[in-house]
Structures are given as structure tokens and as C-alpha cells.
Amino acid sequence: MGVLTNLFKNLYLTWRQYLYTAGAILTLSWKWITNGKDYFVEHVYPEPECLKNWNHKFVQLKNIRMHYVDEGPEDGDVLLMVHGFPEFWYSWRFQLNYFKSSYRCIAIDMRGYNATDKPTGISSYNMVHLVDDIRQFIEILGLKKVTLAAHDWGAMISWRFAMLHPNLIERLIICNVPHPTAFMQTYASSQEQRDKSWYVYLFQSQYIPEIAMRSNKMKMLEAMFRGKKAGIRNKTNFTDEDMLAWKHVFSQPVPRKLQIVQPKVLILWGDEDAFLDKLGAELSLQFCRQCRVQFIRGASHWVQQDQPDLVNAYMEQFMKEDNYEVSNRLKTIKSNL
């Protein structure tokens, strides 16, 4: 019975994922037809003033560098705040301002958000890592007398944290998320909850949620906070500048950690390559500490077979020379063909 139940559950979840993803694809396709490609132009929004006048800090955990805002007396009891999705530290701005006179108030950016590192791979965001980030944060900073406050996805993580590391916190404050077991019971018995969880199914798919979120000047993100159905009811608590703060954070391109090649590099390139544009050779310079590109005129993609004598000469020269050009001085040497 348990095997059949799990099979049915997996089939149901997969069906709901495909259903909502297909709906999103159809909607986006219609937008493309009716609005054109401008609908999908991604905008990067400037940083508003409301994000600047805070005590921004970073701490190095085992695998990531975490950003956080730290306000209030350093020797005070700690109020540690964990945001949800799509949020970041600033969603706790009212609590930071209210409690900072008597508590050390800390609001973190979880991994993948805002200025905290964004490791690649879905497995990097497993619950095990998210819970352990909070453990490391508390232990590395030596935080004592901690009240942990959390909202949305951060609350789900914090429920788990409180179960695994009860000795690291004194109190737990949860905003709008039930205990994980209570949620599963509610999900199983409540059609209303299953309907409300539509976004969970959609977000299991790759690319489509990101496209939907970033298109149309991020109107989907705006609807989450200012829409009639799901938005903040007290409109004065979410200003135009606050909206800009969200758009700024979630419009930033994800930086990739590029590993610079340290050994000396020689790139030999036949300039009649039918498969690869020689622009790629020139752009490769920025990823090497010391690099030189030698274009061989008239040679094909199969350069070491096409012009073996010239390739051998360049290779021999490279392997014997002591002085070497740095990567920002591109030198092009052509053959005499």
C-alpha cells in the first residue's frame, strides 16, 4: 500500500508540475505574439537609497560568504531574522528599526539571495545546507541568547533548524508557515491548500519561472507584493522605493565565479575555422593570467594538421621562451600563406 501511495503521489505532483508549466509556457507564448520581444527584455534596476544606510556585513562560512545587516548593541540579546521567497534581508526592515534599540538585530540573506554567494547546482540548496548555514552563522559569530525569527521558506528552514539544533536558540518566532508535519497534513486534507500551492509545482521546472519573473518589467514580482489578491494590504508599508529595492535585488545578473588560468597559455587558431569564431580566441584572454593568441592565416579548424610546421614552430618557441606577454596585450602572428 505504501508503494502505491508514493507512486500515486509522485504521479500527482508531476502532473501538477507539467500542468502549471504548460500554462505558463502558453501564457508567455501569447505574450510574445501580442507584445513582441520587448515584453521579455530584462532590465537591471538601480540600488535605491533605502538599502544604503544600514550596517552591512559579511561572514565566511564553510562554502559560502553570507551577507547580513547588523543593527543594535553588539552585547545585546540577539534577534536573528531569516527571510523567505522572493525576499531578502530588507523584508525585516520594520523589525530592524523597532528592536535595534534593545536587541542586536541581524537579518541575513540566505544562500542564493542578494549579496550572499550563489553556488551552482540544485543540490547546493538542499535543506541540509540551508539549515547548516544558520548553524555555522550562529557558531562563527558566537551568538548567544538567540531568538530566531523567520518567514515563508525561511520559516520552513527554521522549523527544521529548531528541531536539529535546539541548544543554539532560546526562542523561535514563525510568520505564516505551519510546522512541516502540520503542513503535510493540511496539504493532504485541504483542497484549498493544494490550490494555493500552485506556484510550488511551477517552480519545480527550470527556466520558465525565471523568464516569467523577469519579463514585463518584473510585473509578476510586483503583483506578489502589491497585487489585489496576494499583495500587502497596508499599502503605505510598501512604497515605490521598496518595490524598486526588490526589483534591484532580483534583477541583478548572477555572478559566476570564474577561475583564472594561472599557467602561461598559448592559443593557436586557424583563421578559416568553419566551426568556431575567432572572437572566442580573443575573449579567452580575459580568463588567463598570461596568454597570447597566434592566428594562422588560411588554416582550417584542424590547425595542427593543416599547418604542422608552423604550429610546431610556435609550440617550440613557446616552450623555450622565458619572457612572455601578459594577457592584456594581444599579439597576432599570421602565417606567410
Q: Which of 5-9, 74-78, 187-191, 319-323 has the highest mean predicted lDDT (pLDDT)?
A: 74-78
Q: What is the reported pLDDT for 258?
A: 61
The pLDDT score that the predictor gives to residue 335 is: 38
Contacts of 89 (CB under 8 A, 6+ apart): 67, 68, 69, 81, 83, 107, 108, 109, 114
Cis-peptide into 86, omega within 30 deg: yes
Question: Side chain identity at 11, as an amino acid letter?
Answer: L
What is the Cα–Cα distance from 90 to 76, expressed in whole angstroms? 21
Determine how β-strand 291-296 pairs with β-strand 265-270.
Answer: parallel
Residues of the chain with CATH 3.40.50.1820: 49-175
pLDDT at res. 331:
43
132 grid coordinates: 547548516
Residue 10 has pLDDT above 80, yes or no: no
Q: Distance between CA atoms of 106 and 142, rounded to whole angstroms? A: 13
CA dist., res. 135 & res. 117, Å (int): 17
Average pLDDT, the chain: 86
Q: If you average pLDDT over residues 294-299, what whole number do you get?
A: 89
Q: Mean pLDDT over residues 95-106, rounded?
A: 94
Q: What SS3 state is found at 170?
A: coil
pLDDT value for 322 = 66
Residue 296: in which H helix or E strand, if any?
A: strand 291-296
Residue 59 parent element (H or E): strand 56-60
Can you give the pLDDT at residue 259? Answer: 65
Cα angle, residue 251 at apex, residues 245 and 253 outer, rounded to 5°: 135
In this structure, the strands spanning 104-108 and 65-71 are antiparallel
Instruction: Note the CATH number of domain 49-175.
Output: 3.40.50.1820
Under the banding of pLDDT at 50, 70 and 90, the label for residue 94 is very high
Given a cut of 50, whether residue 120 has pLDDT beyond it is yes
In the chain, alpha helices (H): 2-35, 93-99, 127-141, 152-164, 180-189, 191-196, 198-202, 208-214, 219-226, 240-251, 279-283, 303-306, 308-320
What's the pLDDT score for residue 323?
Answer: 55
- How far is the C-alpha of 99 from the C-alpha of 79, rounded, in Å? 8
* pLDDT score for 130: 98
Q: Tell me how far the alpha carbon of residue 267 is from its chain's centroid.
A: 33
**Which segment of 3-17, 122-136, 156-170, 217-231 scores lowest on mean pLDDT?**
3-17
Burial 178-208 (b: 16+ CB within 10 A, else e): beeeeeeebeeeeeeebeeeeeebbbebeeb
Model confidence at 329, pLDDT cuts 50, 70, 90, reads: very low
Q: Is residue 325 over pLDDT 80?
A: no
